[in-house]
Amino acid sequence: MSRYELLNALLHFLCFFMGAGIGSFLNVVIYRLPRGISVNNPRRSFCPSCQYKIPWYQNIPLVSWLLLRGRCANCGGGISARYFGVELLTGLLFYGIFWKVGGDWAAIKDWGPQVLLLWVFASLLVAGSFIDIEHFILPHEITIGGTVVGLGGAALVPSLMGEETHLRGFMISLASAALGLGGLWLVVELGKLAFGRKRLRFDFPTAWSVTQPDDTQPPVVTLGEEKTGWADIFSRASDRMIITAPALKVNERSYDNVVAELWMEKLKVRHGDGKLEEFALEGVTFLEGSTTHIVIPREAMGFGDVLLLMMIGSFTGWKCVLFTVLAASVLGVLIPTALRLLKLSDWGQKIPFGPYLAGGALLWVFRGPEIMDWYFGLGRMLAGLLLRVIL
């Protein structure tokens, strides 16, 4: 084997294991970022069960998890298979991006910067997706921070946007980020108008209450046996929960046959004769009652998804933004359906929309233009067949 062939083979090897190593760091980000723990302090990874700081020789990507059989060497506690999965997925994505965009060792100056930025993009999507799956949030450090990196990257490497000048690369990136932000925001607002209320009716009065464990925790809404976090119901000041209440108790006062309107910061009690009483929630220490009909506000999707699509646009351009929304919608139907057929529907219901957006964006990176050509070609063929039938 010549020196040139050896360097090329080594490059293929390094791309995968570099990705696996970055995946190990992403596991740190996925665990610490939503918990408010610094990703740099402590510098070494630690066992989630016993807090044992893992030495480097027990923290080799992919290998250590397999050798230790998914357990901590210190306490024997289980280490989630997610750690292995993230490392493997990131390694495969890094290698796939290198294979798709990269080339041989001699041309690394030409493709290297673009591949590096796409590696950063893939890393942001992986970290954001797993955080969203576990915590149902997309941190601003990933979405907004990632957008800044995407804009800067497109300015420095205009080929990321398919452009030749730095200014055009930046402007296309900025316009694509704006399209992602504005387009999906419009979808969220229209979805709120169309599907922004969940109505529940009960044959018999069902108990409900609002409690707050302590001053440091947000309130919890209990309806029957189901408990829901305050932020899961009230995400904007205009949200209100309407409760038809045969019985209601506010602090020391009791009411019969009223309609309670619960807002983010206030409570309104409407009597049958139209009389309205209003309470600031800061002064409400006890709130419970029964209900026969309740209207609960809900969002079509979270605003974090909007910011994620903004970040996707900044790295990949406006065509990817449009493709990602379509592909994510298709994946959002196909994957839960497949999981339902595999009798894993409970797990499928726990996947928010963010990972589907990430999946659509990665699909664009690897095969997006080809899929669009096939899609439009199929559409033209079907349109031609329909015209022949009609004519």
Could you please report the per-residue DSSP string of 12-30?
A: HHHHHHHHHHHHHHHHHHH
Residues 216 and 342 both lie in one domain: no
Global pTM exceeds 0.85: no
pLDDT of the residue at 300:
61
Write out 108-150 in H/E/C secondary structure: HHHHHHHHHHHHHHHHHHHHHHHHHHHHCCCCHHHHHHHHHHH
Greater model confidence, 8 or 140: 140
Structural domains counted in the chain: 2
Q: Is 237:281 a contact under the CB 8 Å cutoff? A: no
The domain boundary, picked from 267, 297, 327, lies at: 297
- Structural domain range at position 149: 138-195+304-391
Q: How far is CA 120 from the centre of its chain?
A: 17
Distance CA 302, CA 334 (A): 21
Residue whose C-alpha is closest to residue 365's, from 78, 92, 147: 92
Asked if residue 201 is part of any domain, the answer here is yes
Residues 188 and 205 both lie in one domain: no
Asked if residue 76 is part of any domain, the answer here is no
- Give yes or no for residue 20 having a pLDDT over 70: yes
Residues 280 and 340 both lie in one domain: no
Asked if residue 2 is part of any domain, the answer here is no
Residues 243 and 314 both lie in one domain: no
pLDDT of the residue at 258:
94
- Give yes or no for residue 175 having a pLDDT over 60: yes
Residue whose C-alpha is closest to residue 110's, from 154, 157, 170: 157
Average pLDDT, the chain: 87
Residues 289 and 310 both lie in one domain: no
The domain boundary, picked from 297, 328, 359, lies at: 297
Asked if residue 9 is part of any domain, the answer here is no
Residue whose C-alpha is closest to residue 353's, from 121, 151, 191, 175: 191
pLDDT digit string, tens, across residues 89-117: 999 999 999 988 877 776 777 788 999 99
Asked if residue 106 is part of any domain, the answer here is no
pLDDT digit string, tens, across residues 28-77: 999 999 888 888 887 878 887 888 788 888 888 999 889 888 888 888 88
The domain boundary, picked from 297, 332, 361, lies at: 297
Greater model confidence, 391 or 360: 360
Q: Give the mean model confidence (pLDDT) for residues 353-369.
A: 93
Q: Tell me the longest C-alpha to C-alpha distance in the chain.
A: 92
Distance CA 303, CA 294 (A): 25
